[in-house]
A and B are shown apart, each in its own frame.
Chain A
Amino acid sequence: IVLTQSPGTLSLSPGERATLSCRASQSVSSSFLAWYQQKPGQAPRLLIYGASNRATGIPDRFSGSGSGTDFTLTISRLEPDDFAVYYCQQYVNSPPYTFGQGTKLEIK
């Protein structure tokens, strides 16, 4: 399964709303789609699993939605700490558990 994220780069200002897209080459059960945040020099951090469930400690300004082949990560009000690269990942039964190519969220 190939995951395509868009846009490649998103330029926004703090306080704005961010909408990141992840499209799968074939249907992915929503139970098997995750979003991660990665900052420079750090390991990825799990934000969302099962398409819409926030991981432990993740603020409620992060939300995930979608089903089938189209999934979305929304950050309702951007804070300075949110500017990073975001990856989606599918983990449907059969490996490989592929990642999207990433969306870089940068400060405008």
Chain B
Amino acid sequence: NAGVTQTPKFQVLKTGQSMTLQCAQDMNHNSMYWYRQDPGMGLRLIYYSASEGTTDKGEVPNGYNVSRLNKREFSLRLESAAPSQTSVYFCASNLGGYEQYFGPGTRLTVT
């Protein structure tokens, strides 16, 4: 089992460009999450999907959109990237309980 995988690992964007961060899990988990981690800020929830076909906003959703493509895949889209979105992005999943399993992260820089 690969667990939670994320692509790409690194990305540099210019202000105004768009991109999609991909996440997939092979653990048959129902729920999936997107977080961002900034220095000194811990992990903050952007969006989550409690089950296939549903998505909900987290603490910091502005500037992002998500798609739960199927049970395995949950993507995060930046329509018009801004320097404030420079961060490390983590995808996570779980069966709907408490313990979440995290991917390795995508390091995004917006210049």
> Is B a genuine binding partner of A?
no
Interface residues of A (CB under 8 A from B): none
Interface residues of B (CB under 8 A from A): none
